[in-house]
Amino acid sequence: MKAFSKSFVFLILLSCASPKKEEVKENKIFQTIGSVERLDSAVNSLIPADAQIEVLASGFEWAEGPLWLEDQQALIFTDVPTNKIWKWTEKDSLSLFLTPSGYLGDRTDKGEPGANGLAMDALGNLILCQHGERQVGKMKAALDAPRPEFEALATGYEGKRFNSPNDLAFNSKGQLFFTDPPYGMDPWDVKELDFQGVYRLDADGKVTLLVDSLSRPNGIALSPDESKFYIAQSDPEKARYYEYSLDENGNVVAGKVLLDVTALQSESKKGLPDGLKVHSNGTLFATGPGGVLVISPEGKHLGTILTENGTANCGFDSGEKYLYMTADSYLMRIPLK
């Protein structure tokens, strides 16, 4: 069920191979949705009192992986089931950026074939968690002329294929941290690893297993000083955000539960911990029950951006003027201070 009226006037209409959703739409006169739940006054220093959630586009199967491209003043994001990446700009609205994005084969019955999390390396290359290919890949083409040609950066651990790499984050040394839950696997896929891992990929191609104790590791992000990373666990029985401390080489030295939100799940607050990003001041913006939770570095739940939809991921523009959110079939944003 859609969360707002379908009687809007949309100025640009694009079609999309999306059998389960309405047509992909771009709304130039942005409609608003949801609200902000303010549990602590600290959230007011991040989100203006009059901030509204704007719906920028809709009609996707399951939108994910928002990534800001500063040179293009554009946001790109994945639609995992349709194997596409879309691009949105304030000036030019919505356009198809790349297809296929995560699966290069011929099967048409895969459930989650596309790319999920996206990141950019220090050289400006697009790095993708590719569900269908079960790898972390690099697009060979430049971002201003994308094409579906990829180089595999990491395909497995100790001779066994990954499950389906999901989300990723670079540190300033060029080390890539990523999660590997089984969400992108189909029933006929052979699961070769008997755990769901969190890994580090070094510049020389070496893959190091950092965490193997989480049931459903999903979103990942680094603290501003890169001394920690955070993991969202999408397990309805243990819906939690974890914090892991790192040494100077990027190895895990300690870990703990930062915040447990299992009890927050309800019919009115849909969603599980999924994608997350860390603001430059250390505050976490983490998708979960109800939308996007705002969490202090100490693990205090400050408030929630209530999107009225299961919310997959979020991301900032370069100046942290907006938080962009991928929520089920929608692309949304909310202004920040």
CA dihedral of residues 207, 212, 218, 220 (deg, nearest 10): -60
Render 244-257 in DSSP notation, one character per residue.
EEE-TTS-EEEEEE
CB-based burial label for 61 (10 Å; 0-12, 13-18, 19+) = buried
What is the full DSSP assignment across 180-243? E-STT--TTS----SS-EEEEE-TTS-EEEEE---SSEEEEEE-TTSSEEEEEE--TTS-EEEE
Backbone dihedral angles phi then psi of residue 259, each to the nearest 5 degrees: -155, 130
b/e burial code for range 140-166 (CB count within 10 A of at least 16 → b):
eeebeebeeebeebbbbbeeebbbbbb
Active-site residue set? 274
How far is 127 from 58, CA to CA, in rounded Å?
A: 25
Residue 112 backbone dihedrals phi, psi, to 5 degrees: -135, 65
User: Is position 64 annotated in a ligand binding site?
Assistant: yes
Distance CA 79, CA 62 (A): 5
Q: Is 305 left (phi over 0), alpha (psi -120 to 50) or beta?
A: beta
Q: Centre a 10 Å sphere on the Cβ of residue 187 and count the other Cβ atoms it contains.
A: 5
Pair of tokens at residue 44:
């007011």
Determine whether the annotation assigns residue 144 to a binding site. Answer: no
Binding-site residue set for a divalent metal cation? 64, 218, 274
Binding-site residue set for substrate? 166
